[in-house]
Chains A and B, each alone.
Chain A
Amino acid sequence: MPAVQDTIDRVRKIDVDQYKYGFQTEIAVDKAPKGLSEDIIRFISAKKDEPSWMLEWRLEAYRRWLTLEEPTWARVNYPKIDFQDIYYYAAPKSTPGPTSLSDVDPEILKVYEKLGIPLKEQEILAGVQKTDVSELEEASDNVYKSGRVAVDAVFDSVSVVTTFKKELAQAGVIFCSISEAIREHPELVQKYLGSVVPTSDNFYATLNSAVFTDGSFVFVPKGVRCPMELSTYFRMNEKNTGQFERTLIIAEEGAYVSYLEGCTAPQRDENQLHAAVVELVALDDAEIKYSTVQNWYPGDAEGKGGIYNFVTKRGDCRGDRSKISWTQVETGSAITWKYPSCILRGDDSQGEFYSIAVSNGYQQVDSGTKMIHLGKNTSSRIISKGIAAGFSQNTYRGQVSAHRKATNARNFTNCDSLLIGDQCGAHTVPYMEAKNSTAQFEHEATTSKISEDQKFYVMQRGIPEEEAIALIVNGFVKDVIQQLPMEFAVEAQKLIGISLEGSVG
Chain B
Amino acid sequence: MLEIKNLHARIVDDGTEIIRGLNLTVKAGEVAAIMGPNGSGKSTLSYILAGREDYEVTEGDILYNGRSILEMDPAERATSGIFLAFQYPMEIPGVATMEFLKVAMNEQRKARGEEPLKIPEFLKRVKEAAASLNMDMAMLKRPLNVGFSGGEKKRAEILQMKLLEPRLCVLDETDSGLDIDALKIVSDGVNALRSPDRAFLVITHYQRLLEHIVPDSVHVLYKGQVIKSGDKSLALDLEANGYAGVIGEAA
Q: Do chains A and B touch in the complex (CB under 8 A)?
A: yes
A positions within 8 Å CB-CB of B? 1-3, 132, 135-136, 139-141, 451-454, 456-465, 467-468, 471-472, 474-479
B positions within 8 Å CB-CB of A? 12-13, 50-54, 73-75, 77-79, 83-84, 86, 89-90, 92-96, 98-100, 102-104, 107-108, 111, 119, 123, 141, 143-144, 160, 164
Determine the main DSSP class of A at the interface with B. Answer: helix
Q: A139-B119, A457-B89 are in contact. Are A475 and B104 (CB under 8 A)?
A: no
Nearest to B110 among chain A residues (CB) is A462
- Which listed residue, B54, B75, B99, touches A459 by the CB 8 Å rule? B75
- Distance in Å: Cβ of A143 to nearest Cβ of chain B: 12
Number of residue pairs spanning A and B whose beta carbons lie under 8 angstroms apart: 101
- Besides A135-B119, A467-B103, 19 more A-B contacts (Cβ < 8 Å) are A1-B12, A3-B53, A132-B119, A140-B99, A451-B90, A458-B100, A459-B78, A460-B51, A460-B77, A462-B104, A463-B104, A464-B73, A471-B92, A472-B95, A475-B144, A476-B94, A478-B93, A478-B94, A478-B143
A463 x B119 contact (CB < 8 A):
no
Residues of A with C-beta under 8 A to B103? 463, 467, 471
Residues of A with C-beta under 8 A to B160? 461
Q: A454-B90, A462-B79, A471-B100 are in contact. Are A141 and B95 (CB under 8 A)?
A: no
- Distance in Å: Cβ of A470 to nearest Cβ of chain B: 10
Residues of B with C-beta under 8 A to A461? 78, 100, 104, 107, 160, 164
**Interface-centre pick from A454, A460, A468 (highest chain B CB count, 10 A):** A460
Residues of A with C-beta under 8 A to B141? 140-141
- Distance in Å: Cβ of B62 to nearest Cβ of chain A: 15
- Distance in Å: Cβ of A472 to nearest Cβ of chain B: 6
A475 x B92 contact (CB < 8 A):
yes
- Which listed residue, B51, B78, B95, touches A478 by the CB 8 Å rule? B95
Question: Once bound together, how far apart are the Cα atoms of A496 and B75, in whole Å?
Answer: 22
Question: Once bound together, how far apart are the Cα atoms of A463 and B101, in whole Å?
Answer: 10
Q: A461-B107, A468-B75 are in contact. Are A475 and B13 (CB under 8 A)?
A: no
Residues of A with C-beta under 8 A to B94? 474-479
Q: A136-B102, A462-B104, A471-B100 are in contact. Are A456 and B74 (CB under 8 A)?
A: yes
- Distance in Å: Cβ of B91 to nearest Cβ of chain A: 8
Residues of B with C-beta under 8 A to A465? 73, 75
Question: Once bound together, how far apart are the Cα atoms of A465 and B143, in whole Å?
Answer: 20
